[in-house]
Amino acid sequence: MGRRYRFVRPLVALLLWSWLSPAVAQENLTLIYSGNLDGELEPCGCSDEGNFGGIKRRASLLATLRTETPGLIALSAGGLLSSDGPGDRLKGEYILKGFAALGYDAVGLQWRDLAYGTEFVAQADVPWVVSNWQGNEATEIFASQRSISRAGHRVVFFSWLDPEASPMREAQGTHSLASESAKALNAGLKRARQAGGLTVLATTQTPAQLIGRVDLSQVDILMQRAAYEVYGEPKMHGSTLVIQPGSRGMRLGRLDLDLADGRIKHWRHTVLPMPESIPDAPGMQAWYDEYNARVKADYLKKVDIRKARQSGQSPFVGEERCQQCHVPQHETWFNSQHAVAYEDLEAVNKAFDPACIRCHTVGFDLPGGFVDMNITGHLLGVQCESCHGAGRAHAEAGGRKPLANAGWAKEQMCAQCHTQPHSPGFKLDRYWPKIAH
The pLDDT score that the predictor gives to residue 26 is: 43
Check if the beta carbon of residue 159 is closer than 8 Å to that of residue 76.
no
Helix (H, G, I), strand (E, B) or coil at 219: coil
Domains in the chain: boundaries: 27-282, 315-434
User: What pLDDT, on the 0 to 100 scale, is given for residue 141?
Assistant: 83
What residues contact 242, with CB distance under 8 A and at least 6 apart? Answer: 207, 221, 222, 224, 234, 235, 236
pLDDT over threshold 50, residue 56:
yes
CA distance 195 to 315: 69
Q: What percent of the chain has pLDDT over 90?
A: 73
For 128-142, how does the pLDDT look when each residue is reduced to its tens digit (9 = 90+)? 999 999 865 545 689
Gap between the Cα atoms of 282 and 19, Å rounded: 43
What is the torsion angle, in degrees rounded to the nearest 10, for the CA atoms of residue 8, residue 13, residue 17 and residue 20?
Answer: -60
What pLDDT score does 309 carry? 66
pLDDT digit string, tens, across residues 378-418: 999 999 999 999 999 999 999 999 999 999 999 999 999 99
DSSP-assigned states of every residue in 380-396: BSS-HHHHH---HHHHH
Model pLDDT, residue 7: 33
Tell whether the model's pLDDT for residue 209 goes beyond 90.
Answer: yes
**Residue 173: pLDDT above 50?**
no
Of the candidates 219, 278, 217, 242, the residue with the CA atom closest to the CA atom of residue 51: 278
Length of the chain: 437
Q: Report whether pLDDT(17) > 70.
A: no
Question: Radius of gyration of the chain from Cα atoms?
Answer: 26
- Residue 204 reports pLDDT greater than 70: yes
CATH superfamily entry for domain 27-282:
Metallo-dependent phosphatases (3.60.21.10)
Whether residue 15 is predicted with pLDDT greater than 70 in this model: the reply is no
- Max Cα distance, the chain (Å): 89
C-alpha distances in angstroms, 23 versus 5, 71, 198, 278, 334? 19, 16, 18, 34, 67
Q: What is the pLDDT of residue 384?
A: 96
Res 396: pLDDT: 93
Range of lowest pLDDT (37-41, 96-100, 104-108, 165-169): 165-169
pLDDT at 301: 86
Say what the pLDDT of residue 177 is. 86
Strand ranges in 204-329 using DSSP code E only, listed in sequence order: 221-223, 235-237, 240-243, 251-260, 263-273
- Domain 315-434 in this protein, CATH class: mainly alpha
Same fold yes or no, 27-282 and 315-434 = no
The mean pLDDT value for 157-173 works out to 80
Using the predicted structure, report yes or no on whether residue 16 has a pLDDT greater than 60. Answer: no
pLDDT tens, position by position, 266-296:
999 999 999 999 999 999 999 999 999 999 9
Across the strands, what pairs with 237?
Answer: 240
Chain segment 90-127, per-residue pLDDT in tens: 999 999 999 999 999 999 999 999 999 999 999 999 99
Compute the distance between CA of residue 300 and CA of residue 309 in angstroms, rounded to an integer: 14
Phi, psi of 171, deg, nearest 5: -80, 130
DSSP structure string for 345-382: HHHTT-TT-HHHHTTTBSSTTSTTS---TTTSGGGBSS
What is the predicted pLDDT for the residue at 46? 85
CB neighbours of residue 7 within 10 Å: 5
- At 398 the pLDDT is 93
- Global pTM value: 0.84
More confident residue, 50 or 316: 316
pLDDT at 21: 44
Min mean pLDDT across 55-69, 171-185, 194-208, 344-358 is at 171-185
Average pLDDT of every residue of the chain: 89
The arrangement of strands across the sheet holding 153-160 comes to: 146-150, 153-160, 198-203, 221-223, 240-243, 235-237
pLDDT of 158 > 70? The answer is yes
Residue 173 C-alpha from the chain's centroid: 33
Amino acid at 34: S
Q: Tell which residue, 328, 317, 330, 327, has the closest CA to residue 395.
A: 317
Cα(351)–Cα(336) distance, integer angstroms: 19
Supply angle C-alpha 223, 62, 46, rounded to 5.
85
Q: What is the predicted pLDDT for the residue at 174?
A: 46
Per-residue confidence (pLDDT) for residue 107, from 0 to 100: 98
Has residue 23 got a pLDDT over 60? no
